[in-house]
């Protein structure tokens, strides 16, 4: 077996990228991401795209600076399904953590759905520690085009970050 090495870079997600990010969620999810990009223009969040040399996003995720005082809260992390378990999520989280420390913050937080043990295992490998549970919900497009409400419980996790001085 031959290993394939991807050269990746992280940059701001742009509105024009959304048409190539259908793999990340439903049309309602992409509408929400578009709303997050408006918040990014106001400096409230950062929204990142991880790209190979083609420039087409293969992973996306946001950092909300207003969700928890003194922390950057990672949100809406997604890696293209065909590329999961290749280290791209780790790369995305590292880029997000660098953005957080560049704002002078030293804590990263996130919520992971309790029915997503693979994601939780990644976060634990990266040093995130569970500290609580919280209900979460969002609207999602159903296959028939209707809108349904998804409800879940998320484990809240955090990691103390070091400055990259």
CB burial string 123-142: b at 16+ within 10 A, e below? beeeebeeeeeeeeeeeebe
Within a domain: 165: no
Question: Quick check: 1 pLDDT over 90?
Answer: no
Domain count, the chain: 1
> Pick from 87, 80, 99: which is nearest to 24 by CA?
80
Question: Quick check: 49 pLDDT over 90?
Answer: yes
Supply the CATH number for residue 63's domain.
3.40.630.30
pLDDT tens for 123-163 read: 999 999 999 999 999 888 888 888 889 899 999 999 999 87
Predicted TM-score (pTM) of this structure:
0.92
Within a domain: 3: no
Within a domain: 113: yes
């Amino acid at each position: 077996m031959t290993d394939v090495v991807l050269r990746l870079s992280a940059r701001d997600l742009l509105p024009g990228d959304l048409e190539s990010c259908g793999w990340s969620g439903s049309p309602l999810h992409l509408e929400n991401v578009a709303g997050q990009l408006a918040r990014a223009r106001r400096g409230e969040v950062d929204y990142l795209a991880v790209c190979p040399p083609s420039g087409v996003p293969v992973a996306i995720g946001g950092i909300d600076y207003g969700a928890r005082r003194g922390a950057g809260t990672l949100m809406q992390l997604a890696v293209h399904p065909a590329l999961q378990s290749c280290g791209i999520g780790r790369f995305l989280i590292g880029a997000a953590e660098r953005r957080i420390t560049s704002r002078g913050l030293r804590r990263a937080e996130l919520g992971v759905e309790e029915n997503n043990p693979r994601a939780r295992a990644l976060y634990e490998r990266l040093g995130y520690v569970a500290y609580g549970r919280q209900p979460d919900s969002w609207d999602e497009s159903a296959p028939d085009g209707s809108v349904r409400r998804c409800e879940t419980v998320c484990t809240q996790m955090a990691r103390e970050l070091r400055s990259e001085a």
